Structure 1
Amino acid sequence: MNLSDPVHKKVIGVIFIVFSALGLLMLLFYDQLMSVIIGVAQDEPGFDPDAIWVFDLISSFLWGIAIIFFIPRIIIGIGLLNQRKWANVPAMVYGIISLINIPFGTLLGVYCILVFTAKKKGDEDY
């Protein structure tokens, strides 16, 4: 299998876009679910309104992670789909970072390492 073929980079780009979009959707779902839960809890007697800041802090932290990881990966995925050279190094970095996400991130990370370190057919040393 020729891992230096541009098709592999396009596959990685699609996977980056899909995984990041799913992550953003899950985060949106979490935000909406917590809004509903807090709304219901506010109607209960004995609810402490000072506890809402904890949920706001968690939500802010999760959106910060989304800004750092999900949104750039979508941009990198689009760059890989359009075969832009600037997307190779950040894709390799995000591929290595995704190694800690067992099992799918590990597979994606190994695949990124294999694709982005593969030599072209004519570049092999004899």
Structure 2
Amino acid sequence: MEAHIKVVGLINIVFGILGLFIAGILFIVIAGGGIISGDPTAMTITSIVAVALSGIFSVFAIPEIIAGWGILKLKSWGRILGVIVAILDLINIPIGTIFGIYALWVLMNEETEQIFQQQRPGGIVVEKIQK
């Protein structure tokens, strides 16, 4: 299951970076179109649209990167954020849906939960002491 956890973490980071890249491209293309036109009204409208769209993509991309990092570091909050991000990924048909289902399967697995519970600050694995 540890290999699946690493895959989910890496894919989250890749999806997040891709989302930020798309946000940047959208901003450049949409705002650039208004600037090229030379019309002040067009520049204003396209700038507002560019900021809004790139902002939306960034709002979804940044948690994806943070979740991926947390999952790779086996942080308990990373698993929780990963589940939330996986649920949001389900609406991105078809690739996001496939990944969202896979991520939910991995992150909600009982073995995965135990792996995340064993980790403590500093990356030290703490074994349970039975009395």
CA–CA separation in structure 2 for the residues paired with 1:60 and 1:33 = 11
Kept after mapping to 1: 8 A contact 2:22/2:57:
no
Q: Which residue of 2 aligns with 1:118?
A: 109
Scaled by the length of structure 1, the TM-score of the pair is 0.78
CA–CA separation in structure 1 for the residues paired with 2:24 and 2:48 = 15
Kept after mapping to 1: 8 A contact 2:34/2:44:
no
Q: Which residue of 2 aligns with 1:13?
A: 9
Gaps of 5+ in 1: none
Give secondary structure in 2 for the equivalent of 1:100.
coil
Q: Which residue of 1 aligns with 2:122?
A: none
Correspondence 1:71-86 to 2 at 5 A: 71-86=62-77
Seq. identity, % = 32
Pairwise CA distance, 1:79: 1.1
> Where in structure 1 do 4 or more consecutive aligned residues deviate above 6 Å?
none
Scaled by the length of structure 2, the TM-score of the pair is 0.75
Q: Number of paired residues?
A: 113
CA-based RMSD of the aligned residues comes to 2.0
Pairwise CA distance, 1:63: 3.1
Pairwise CA distance, 1:75: 1.1
Identify the match of residue 91 of structure 1 among 78, 82, 85. 82
Gaps of 5+ in 2: 115-131
Correspondence 1:1-126 to 2 at 5 A: 5-42=1-38, 47=39, 49-120=40-111
Question: In structure 1, what residue type is equivalent to 2:71?
Answer: L
CA–CA separation in structure 2 for the residues paired with 1:114 and 1:91 = 11
CA–CA separation in structure 2 for the residues paired with 1:92 and 1:50 = 42
